[in-house]
Amino acid sequence: MALDVRIFETVSPSRFISFTIPNPNSPSHLLRVAVLDSPIHSSPRVAAMLVPKHRETDWIFSTESGHLQLLLNLPNISRLILIGDDPEDLSNSPADDEILEQRVKPLVAALSPKTLFKEEVPFLIYEDDVVSSVELERSVGPYVGEMVIEDVEIEIDEEGTREFRRRLRFKRTPNLVQSDIKMVRTRGEEFEPQLTELVHPYLAPMVASLSLIGCDLKRGPKALCIGVGGGGLLSFLKLKLGFEVTGVEIDPEVLRIARRYFGLEERFASVHVGDGVDFLKRLDDDGSKFDVLMVDLDSSDPVHGVSAPPVEFVAKDVLLAARAVLVPCGTFYEELKDVFRGVFAELYEIDVGNGENFVLVATVSIRDGNSGFSMDNLAPVILKYVDAIQRI
């Protein structure tokens, strides 16, 4: 049945439609066209984007959730149209995007709301730091769903310096890198994880907040990490800072991947499979204590204004349980400032600097500025965030 373009005359919040058409550059090949209207009411502005070559099967461009995240990152755009090679028909497709853009402009105009002013719809260009990528495995976890493990080569500065990383991404939030570690060449073409460095944007600021701990940690500091992911934070705390680490991960498949691909070993951390909230409450009951509690959980709802942590984790009884498992000089990491101020003594914020992540640090007691975690133990990449800590 032919698609009636009149359905695109008005914006319908959260409506998602995809279809295929012959590629005007090569009619024997197909283009996939996907149209998504924003769930957030805004003026009827439209943007289009050509899917980058060789990224057609990437969840960022091939799924509704990836499409949604692209749209939500575009202020005042109510409809985003993606056009790219059909992921089912990628053989020998033509690669001239400039010609294709000109030839699909009438289609884009036809897919625009009737109320749109007679202005040309802009074509946006998707850019990131990935130079190349190799997929290692796709897997499905009972809680997080489908996920992909990939090795990527990225550009890390304007001079074109490149670095190899291993990444974990979830299909439910494909635009976010869940875990990211540096890979270093050992001998020949072999690579191994570099576990004494933190490259994920918000992990170094989280560790920098240890400078707020005002007690003597020579007795052997203990850390509780809820949400393991690839395990980079757990490994770093053990190997670089000498913490006794306990981790909690709800999805056993994520834990398997952390051990197989990201270098997490049992000698680095004691990891439990289970719900973080339930685990925290049980610890409260048995009197266990930790110097630091780090929470790295995200929401499964990509439309939610706060992607981390899940709403259920910031209930007051959960925060009180978190406070109870910390020694008086301990720290706790989370979001939602107003709720935290009602439970903890002091609240600090670190701007990660990537325009996306902020780290909040809540302390059980008022900080004693004359003592703290030894600066000698904090690497330069972490020390730069110590100066960025602001009390709020």
pLDDT, greater one: 374 or 79: 79
Asked if pLDDT for residue 326 goes beyond 80, the answer is: yes
Indicate the burial class of 317 (C-beta count within 10 angstroms; 0-12, 13-18, 19 or more): exposed
Strands (E), the chain: 16-23, 26-37, 46-50, 79-85, 123-124, 130-141, 145-155, 162-170, 179-185, 191-194, 222-226, 244-249, 270-273, 290-295, 326-334, 346-351, 358-363, 390-391
Give pLDDT, residue 299.
61
Token pair for 149: 């493990």
Which of residues 125 and 1 earns the better pLDDT score? 125
Most confident region among 40-49, 152-161, 242-251 by mean pLDDT: 242-251
The residue type of 128 is D
More confident call, 217 vs 37: 37
Task: Kindly state the percentage of the chain with pLDDT values over 90.
Answer: 41
pLDDT band at 93 (very low <50, low <70, confident <90, very high): low
CB 242 within 8 Å of CB 180: no
How far CA 205 is from CA of 34, 56, 139, 390, in Å, comes to 38, 34, 30, 12
Confidence of residue 126 (pLDDT cuts 50, 70, 90): very high
Residue labelled with tokens 């991947």? 257
Instruction: Check whether 255 has a pLDDT greater than 90.
Output: yes
* pLDDT computed for residue 210 by the predictor: 85
pLDDT, residue 214, reads 64
Q: How far apart are CA 123 and CA 74, in angstroms?
A: 12
CA distances from 302 to 42, 196, 360 (A): 18, 31, 21
Q: Which residue would you say has higher pLDDT here, 371 or 233?
A: 233
**How much is the pLDDT for 247?**
96
Report field, pTM of the whole predicted structure over 0.85: no
Percent of the chain residues topping a pLDDT of 70: 88
Q: Say if residue 168's pLDDT is above 90.
A: yes
Q: Is the pLDDT of residue 334 over 60?
A: no
Read off the pLDDT of each residue in 144-157 and give the average, rounded to a whole number: 93
Mean pLDDT confidence for 306-322 = 75
What Å distances lie between residue 357 and 113, 170, 315, 353, CA to CA? 34, 18, 22, 7
Spatial strand order in the sheet of 79-85: 16-23, 26-37, 79-85, 46-50, 123-124
pLDDT at 304: 47
The predicted structure's pLDDT at residue 305: 43
Instruction: Place 264 in a pLDDT band, splitting at 50, 70 and 90.
Output: very high
Tell me the CA distances in angstroms from 354 to 17, 270, 349, 360, 361, one per residue in order: 32, 31, 14, 15, 18
**Banded pLDDT at 335 (limits 50, 70, 90):** very low
Contacts (Cβ under 8 Å, ≥6 apart) of 48: 80, 81, 82, 83, 104, 108, 121, 122, 123, 124
Does position 234 have pLDDT exceeding 90, yes or no? yes
State the average pLDDT for the chain.
Answer: 85
Question: Cis ω on the peptide bond leading into residue 309 (within 30° of 0)?
Answer: yes
Write down the pLDDT at residue 165: 95
Query: Could you write out the DSSP letters of every residue in 289-319?
Result: -EEEEEE----S-TTSS--SS-GGGGSHHHH
Question: Per-residue pLDDT averaged across 270-289, rounded?
Answer: 88
Give the pLDDT confidence of 177-220 residue by residue, as tens digits: 999 999 998 877 788 999 999 999 889 888 988 888 766 556 67
* 106: alpha, beta or left? (left if phi > 0; alpha if psi -120 to 50): alpha
Band of pLDDT at residue 170, cut at 50, 70 and 90: very high
Instruction: Provide the phi-psi class of 75: left if phi over 0, else alpha when psi is between -120 and 50, else beta.
Output: beta
Crossing angle (nearest 10°) for helices 276-286 and 316-324? 50
